[in-house]
Amino acid sequence: MNLKASNISFSYTKKRQILNDVSLSLNSNEIIGLMGDSGSGKSTLCKILSGHISHYSGEVTLDGNKIQDKGFYPVQLIYQHPEKTMNPKWKMEKVLNESWNPPQDLKKSFGLKDSWLTRWPSELSGGELQRFSILRALNPNTKFIIADEISTMLDAVTQVQIWEALINHCKANNIGILAVSHDEELLNVLCDDILKFDEINNL
């Protein structure tokens, strides 16, 4: 499959244009890195790709077709701060199962322990929560993953564990990944190709 963004332009206020005529294309067997300065609009682009922002100009297509708003969105965004994406009054089991019920071996490959499922989000660390937030995004209907700085807040050991599990799953299920990060060394290890954000954003 191919995820394509064509000529995306966007601004939050009239004063400041964030994205101008941005185009990119991603295939499902690829891992593409995206690097750029903070505040340059990377996360805004991620939100547009994954359908969280709708009032932009330009087009996001999946295999040439406009993505349907109804039902499960095939492009899933994973955020930097998992604690901000979970209902604090839901236990982890409910948080995870809101999306789907992953098989036991997949839970195991993400190092998810059964004892975590009965806890509240505030009782787990960022690394533990991020495992949930990734697993939750890997619903069988997911075709593309947009990973917006998903390992920035994690220690190096956890970073390897999480990327290893995510990439293994995506390669096996033909899911494409857009990896956004500031860490060039990390992207060099992970990605097939790296895009520089200021080169694709025509401001």
* Residue 160 in contact with other proteins, rule: CB under 8 A: yes
Least distance between other proteins and beta carbon 200 (Å):
16
Q: In angstroms, rounded to a whole number, what is the distance separating the alpha carbons of residues 36 and 105? A: 36
* Residue 96 in contact with other proteins, rule: CB under 8 A: no
* Residue 189 in contact with other proteins, rule: CB under 8 A: yes
Please identify, among the stretches 46-54, 68-76, 137-145, 183-191, the one whose residues bind other proteins according to the rule CB under 8 A.
Answer: 183-191
Computed over its alpha carbons, how large is the radius of gyration of the chain? 17
* Residue 199 in contact with other proteins, rule: CB under 8 A: no
Q: Given candidates 65, 101, 104, 115, which one binds other proteins under the rule CB under 8 A?
A: 115
* Residue 172 in contact with other proteins, rule: CB under 8 A: no
Which amino acid, one-letter code, is at 200? I
* Residue 127 in contact with other proteins, rule: CB under 8 A: yes
22-61 residues near other proteins, rule: CB under 8 A: 36-40, 43
Q: Given candidates 50, 85, 99, 158, which one binds other proteins under the rule CB under 8 A?
A: 158
* Residue 105 in contact with other proteins, rule: CB under 8 A: no
Assess contact for 95 and 122: CB atoms under 8 A.
no
Report how far Cα 133 is from the mean position of its chain's Cα atoms: 10
User: Residue 174: which H helix or E strand, with range?
Assistant: none
Least distance between other proteins and beta carbon 72 (Å):
27
Exposed/middle/buried for residue 5 (C-beta within 10 Å: 0-12, 13-18, 19+):
buried
Paired sense of beta strands 75-78 and 144-148, if any: parallel
Nearer to other proteins, 3 or 112 (CB): 112
* Residue 164 in contact with other proteins, rule: CB under 8 A: yes
Least distance between other proteins and beta carbon 10 (Å):
14
Q: Given candidates 50, 76, 80, 85, which one binds other proteins under the rule CB under 8 A?
A: 80
Q: Which parts of this chain interact with other proteins (CB under 8 A)?
A: 12, 15-16, 36-40, 43, 80, 111, 113, 115-116, 124-128, 149, 152-161, 164, 182-186, 188-189
